[in-house]
Structure 1
Amino acid sequence: MIKQFAYGLAFTGLLGMTLTSCTSGTQEKKDEVEHNPASQTIPEESKDLLGRWDLTVDKGGAQVPSWIEIKLSGFSTLVGYWVGDSGSSRPISHIKLVNGKFSFAIPPQWEGGDGDFVIEGELAGADLKGTITSNNGEKYSFTGVKAPYLNRTTAVTWGTPVELFNGKDLTNWKPSNDKNKWVVKDGILTNEAAGANLVTEQKFEDFKIETEFRYPEGSNSGLYLRGRYEVQIEDSPKDRHPGALYFAGVYGFLAPNEMVALGPNEWQKMEITLVGRLVTIVANGKTVISNQEIPGITGGALDSKEGEPGPIYIQGDHGPIEFRKITITPAK
C-alpha cells in the first residue's frame, strides 16, 4: 500500500512536471510570436537614429565618404554596419546610446595595427554629427544625412548606347591622380601597374553597362557604379565559395550565387544593370545577382551623395587589368 501510494505521488509529480513543461513551452511559443519584428515597439530615444546614413568625414582637410546603418535588435539593443573610406562593410555588434549620444568600437580591417576605431555621434536636428578616432589616435569629425531610398515608380526605358572606350585613347576618361598607368595598346585599354583609378567625365543615374576585360594572375580591380558601388573584378580562385568580396560581388554587401570567374588571362564579360539601388549582374553568361538592393556605398567610393548621378570608375590602384569594351546605355 505504501509502495502504491509512493508510486501515485511519483506519477502525480511527473504529471505535474509534464504539465508545467507543456505550459512553459506554450508560453515560450506565445512569447516568440509576440517578439516578432512586425510588432516591435521602437524605443523613443533611438527611433530617429534608426536607418541608413550617408556620412562625410573631414579627414585632414579632405572630404571623404563613409556610411552607417543603425538597426534595432530585440527590445532595445542597437546594432548595425559601418563602411569607412576604404575596405568593406563591417558589422557593429553593439551601439551604445547614452543621453542622446551613440558610440561603438570596431576593429581595424585593411588599415592594420592594433586597437579599435571608436565612432561617437549624435543627432543634430535631422542630421548626424560626430567624430571618428582611429586606432592610432587620429581624430576626424563627420556629418551625416539620411540615405535616400532611390525607389523608382515607373518602368525604365532605355536610351542610346554610348561607347565609353573608343579603342584609341582616353577620351571620356580622366585619371584620379598623377600616378596614371593607363594606356591604350592595340585597341585595348590597359592599366600596366597599380597607379591611378580611371573616372568617366560624364555622370550617370540609371543605366546598363557591358564590359569585356581580362586580368593577369593575382590581380585585383573593380568597376564602380555611379562612383559609389564597387562590382568586384579580381582573380578569385574558381573553387572558392562565392562571396561579397570575390569576383562579381558588390564589394562587402552582395555575394553572387555562383563563382563564375574564368581565371587569369581569359577575356571575360559582365553586364550590369543599375536602377535606383537595384542591381542585376550577369557575369560570363550567368545571372549571379538578380535585382538585389545595394544598401549603401562601398569602400573606395568617390562620395556619399547617393541621391545624385555619378561617374563610372575603374579601380586602377590595386593591379593591372585590360578592357576591350565598355558600353553604357543610360535610362531615358
Structure 2
Amino acid sequence: MTPYRMPAEWTPHERTWMAWPSPNPTFTDDEELAAARAAWASVARAVRRFEPVTMVVAPGDAEGARALLGEDVELVERELDDAWMRDIGPTFVTDGTSLAAVDWVFNGWGAQDWARWEHDSKIARHVADAAGVPVLSSPLVNEGGGLHVDGEGTVLLTDTVQLGSGRNPGWSREEVEREVHARLGTTKAIWLPHGLAGDYGLYGTQGHVDIVAAFARPGTVLVHGQRDPRHPDHERSRAYVELLRAQTDAQGRPLEVIEIPAPTVLTDEEGDWVDYSYINHYLCNGAVILCAFDDPHDELAAEIFRRLFPDREVVLVDARTIFAAGGGIHCITQQQPAV
C-alpha cells in the first residue's frame, strides 16, 4: 500500500476549511469580535472566488456568519473555542487515491494560560467526519502552522514548537522526526531554532514556521526578510537565510532561498514588536491570498509573488486584525487536497 503523504499547498484543493470567531480570550469585547469576524469573512470571500469554503461555526452563530459570508460559503455547526483552523483542524494526507486526516494533539499552543481547547481539541475529528475521511491519530502535540512541506519529502519545523516544554516534554528531536515523517510521508526535516520575535508575546504560538519560511516550489523556500536593524527579527532573518542556504532538501537539491521583505512598520500601538509577515500567505486554486498591512511594501511583496506564481492571481487582503489576534491568513485556513 502506498503510504500517506501531505501534498504541497500549491497542488489542487477540494476546498478550504475555516473556523468562525466566537467569544473567547482572544477577542476580549464585542468590538474586537466584530472586527475579527469581518476580517475572517474577507479572507473567506477572497478564497471562495477560487474554490469552495466550509466554515465551522459555533451553535447559534450561523445566522450572523451567513450575513457576512454570503450564501456560497458552506456552514457546519460545531462547538468551538477559537478560530485558527490551520492549528485546530486536521492535516490532510493522501495515498494517491483517497484522503485521510492526521489528528495531532492540540493543547492551546503549549497549554498557554489564556488558551481554551476543550472543543478545539476535537475539531480535527469533526472536520474529518464532515469531509468523510478516516482519522489518523498522532500522540504528538503539534499544529498545522508548525510545519510546512514541499510535497517531495521535506518538512520545515522549529525547535520551540515541536520540542517546546509546553508541547512535547521528553521527546527527542529524533522521536519528533520519526512521528512527523510517519504521518506526513516526509523523509527530511529542516529545523529552524525559533520563530519571529513577536510570536512569543501574548497570543503567540511560540514559534510557528509558517510565518517565517514557506516552500514556493520544490527546492525553493521563501523567508521573512526583516531589513531594519532596529527590529529583533533583523538578526533572526539573517540567521534563517544562512541556515537554509546551507541545506539540501529530501531530494538532495540545494535550497534556493528568496527573501520577502517585511512590512516597514515595526511596532504596534502599544510599542510591542510586530511579526507582520508576507510569508503567512495562502495558496488556493488559482490564487495567492496575500496578507496586506496598508504598508508601502504590500505592492513590493505582491509583485514578488506574481513573479513566483505567474499562473495565479495575487489577492491582497488586510490582515492587521488577524495579526493582532495572534496569526495571519495562513493560520485561519486549512486546505483539503483534491484526489
| Range of TM-score over shorter length | under 0.3
Q: Which one has a larger percent strand, Structure 1 or Structure 2?
A: 1
Compute the TM-score of the two structures, normalised by the length of structure 1: 0.24
Computing the radius of gyration from Cα coordinates, the structure with the larger value is: 1
Structure with greater proportional helix content: 2
Give the TM-score of the pair, scaled to structure 2. Answer: 0.24
Q: Which has the higher contact order (CA 8 A, sep 6+)?
A: 2
